[in-house]
Amino acid sequence: MIILGIETSCDDTAAAVVVDGNKILSSVVSSQTDIHHPYGGVVPELASRKHIESIVPVVSEAISKSGISLKQLDGIAVTQGPGLIGSLLVGFSFAKGYAYALDLPWIGVNHLYGHINSVFLEPDSPPFPFAALLVSGGHTAIYYVKSYRDIELMGQTRDDAAGEAFDKVAKMSGLGYPGGGVIDKLAKEGDPEKIVFPRTYLNKSEFDFSFSGVKTSVNRYIQTHQEEYKDMIPDIVAGFQEAVVDVLSYKIVNAALEKRCDHIAIVGGVAANSRLREKVTHDAGSKSITVHIPSLHLCGDNAAMIAAVGYHYLKDGYQSDINDDVYSRAR
């Protein structure tokens, strides 16, 4: 089955053509980072306007790069939620119209299931069941993944998402937006043990997270070291990153042990973080657990992962209805 995936939940306009939920023929991502950069975060109104401009060229590019003709498509999958309503509406409405014009089945899918399914686009995908850590700008959660569609939430953040904490710490350190990648790079020049920030485990045997404490701690450190903090930015961000990574690694390894899983997947934009990749691989390895992390281009938002989820629903006969609508919060 050849599926066209469409993703516009936040600030990336993306389209992809994927065969059987695991082979990418094309994947196009048009990023809006330059537009939102001056504001230090995503401006929803600007995001939806840009999606409207980009959606047709991005879908056309994905089709032409895939080398297939429109007639060869078997269905369309599109992100239905969670995300920014105005942004979601652009991709969702486009997909509805396109599917009806081409007389194709179509399905609205959960963006978070998309991230989890991104591991199946790689050759060494994990066998079921496995434990998944989803870490992105909008979400941080642990799931017990029993099949492509049977996914149980084990815990999630009670306040900031991990990526959001990276972005906020980058902003207060004067490193711009989005800050995850910059912190990752700069932390390599710092000493992660020089400034020790708090690790918030909440209940150590449960899987909820909280990152607002460490973020506030970094802010307080900067406020109380106004004279010298600029020279210490690499140590500050290295200390912050280590605190976040310690908690993420501890909880996902524990989740895998509790569910007796031999495999872990790490997905979402923050899965690109080099220290997180290294630490979880080490910690899980010491318990004989194998870690699967997608390549960098599949960690951030993309439409190939949406096509991958859609494939499993469409193959099993599920379809969305013309009256279905987008949703902003996870459900």
Chain positions contacting ligand KG4, by CB under 6 A: 10, 136-138, 163, 166-167, 178-181, 184, 268-270, 272-273, 300-301
**Which of 73/119 has CB closer to ligand KG4?**
119
What is the per-residue DSSP string for 207-261? --B--HHHHHHHHHHHHHTTTTGGGGHHHHHHHHHHHHHHHHHHHHHHHHHHTT-
Q: Under the criterion CB under 5 A, does residue 117 sit at the interface with Zn ion?
A: no
**Which of 105/114 has CB closer to Zn ion?**
114
| Binder of Zn ion out of 48, 87, 136, 157 (CB under 5 A) | 136
What is the per-residue DSSP string for 110-178? EHHHHHHHGGGGSTTPPPSSEEEEEE-SS-EEEEEE-SSS-EEEEEEBSS--HHHHHHHHHHHTT--SS
**Which of 105/300 has CB closer to Zn ion?**
300
Cβ at position 137, least distance to Zn ion in Å: 7
CB burial class (10 A; 0-12, 13-18, 19+) of residue 132? buried
Antiparallel, parallel or unpaired: β 23-31 and 12-19: antiparallel
Cβ at position 79, least distance to ligand KG4 in Å: 10
| Binder of Zn ion out of 17, 301, 303, 307 (CB under 5 A) | 301
**Which span sits near Zn ion by CB under 5 A: 20-28, 177-185, 271-279, 298-306?**
298-306
Q: How many CA atoms lie within 13 A of 128 on its CB side?
A: 12
Which of the choices Zn ion, ligand KG4, none does residue 310 contact, using the CB cut-off of 5 to 8 A by kind?
none
Which of the choices Zn ion, ligand KG4, none does residue 213 contact, using the CB cut-off of 5 to 8 A by kind?
none
**Which of 81/138 has CB closer to ligand KG4?**
138
